[in-house]
Amino acid sequence: MSEIELRDVVQRFHARGTPSGFLTAVQSTSFTLRSDPPHIVSLVGQSGSGKSTIARIILGLQRPSSGLVTYGGRDIFKLSRAEYDDYRKNVQPVFQDPYAIFNPFYRVDRVLRTAIKKFSLASTAAEASSLMEESLLAVKLDPGQVLGRYPHQLSGGQRQRIMLARVHMLRPSFIIADEPVSMLDAQVRKLFLDILTDFRTTYGMTTLFITHDLSTVYYIGGEVMVITRGRIVEKGPVSTVMHTPSHPYTQLLLASVPQPDPDARWTDRIDIAQATAAEAGPEVPPEDEALEARVP
């Protein structure tokens, strides 16, 4: 079994125009992702609440101002190059905008071939081709229709599923999915979420699913952590948190989900600041040397 543990992780950024000159994007955050049993845990919160910053920190793309991120008990920012490569094979990202990942001048096959080469997944060209085909079929893509095409010739949903095919080839223990479905229509969104669920049951992958959208959290199930202003204010099984939310911000978030009922249109204004003001503690001055976000 492997574990990714965040312990008292804090991320501060320089921010001009604020009274203190910095903002705290992530406040003393601790949680653990376990590969056994494999599970899906959603991190839900409004825009700017710190979700992507947490994803970047877990992926080792950003060193936190303070706190620890460990994998198998070891600080991920102290891994050797080879150990970090192994970590990144086991912890795969899926981002919101797959178009940004593709090079528009290369056929989409390249994303898969690069992974095969980098991680030595096949020893012959024939083996590589059958691996690509198997993985594309696993994410409900027809290899004949997508291989050989350029990124702009595919839909957003197809591009996003190519990223899932890449994950399928690598079989990581963990997927860090940052708003992976927010640009997809409802039908493709459901297909994507079903594939993530299949990955958990069939291959034992644990997913951190980052979203601002409660309906997808509800659909995907498992566990949920609710974040506001960089602080996780509630966590638990989705059914418990959705049905009996204990924190005012979670209650507000749930009340903000639009109802598809023309007779029950919103009339109230939503005041996020009011609901979260009580939670926001005073900002603490940063330890100066740890301020800068660094890419290892």
Ligand X SMILES: Nc1ncnc2c1ncn2[C@@H]1O[C@H](COP(=O)(O)OP(=O)(O)OP(=O)(O)O)[C@@H](O)[C@H]1O
Q: Which is nearer to ligand X, 25 or 115 (CB)?
A: 25
Give me the least distance between CB of 155 and ligand X, in Å please.
Answer: 23
Residue whose entry in the numeric block shows the structure tokens 């060193």: 63
Give me the least distance between CB of 152 and ligand X, in Å please.
Answer: 24
Cβ neighbours for 12, distance < 8 A, ≥ 6 positions apart: 22, 23, 24, 25, 65, 286, 290, 291
Q: Which is nearer to ligand X, 53 or 276 (CB)?
A: 53
Q: Which is nearer to ligand X, 79 or 210 (CB)?
A: 210
Q: Which is nearer to ligand X, 45 or 180 (CB)?
A: 45
Give me the least distance between CB of 133 and ligand X, in Å please.
Answer: 34
CB of 72 within 8 A of CB of 3?
A: yes
Distance of CA 141 to the CA centre of its chain: 22
Distance of CA 14 to the CA centre of its chain: 24
Give me the least distance between CB of 101 and ligand X, in Å please.
Answer: 16
Q: Which is nearer to ligand X, 50 or 222 (CB)?
A: 50
Sign of CA pseudo-dihedral 168, 40, 89, 172: negative
Distance CA 153, CA 196 (A): 24
282 CB burial (10 A radius; 0-12, 13-18, 19+): exposed
Q: Which is nearer to ligand X, 47 or 80 (CB)?
A: 47
Residue 151's region, left for phi above 0, alpha for psi from -120 to 50, else beta, is alpha
Q: Which is nearer to ligand X, 55 or 165 (CB)?
A: 55
Give me the least distance between CB of 15 and ligand X, in Å please.
Answer: 6
Nearest to 95 by CA among 68, 41, 59: 59
Distance CA 249, CA 45 (A): 9
Residues facing 175 on adjacent strands: 92, 207
Residue 59 CB neighbours (<10 A): 18
Q: Which is nearer to ligand X, 92 or 228 (CB)?
A: 228
Give me the least distance between CB of 176 and ligand X, in Å please.
Answer: 12
Give me the least distance between CB of 62 and ligand X, in Å please.
Answer: 8
Residues in contact with ligand X by CB under 6 A are 13, 23, 25, 45, 47-53, 212, 293
Give me the least distance between CB of 132 and ligand X, in Å please.
Answer: 31
Residue 17 CB neighbours (<10 A): 6
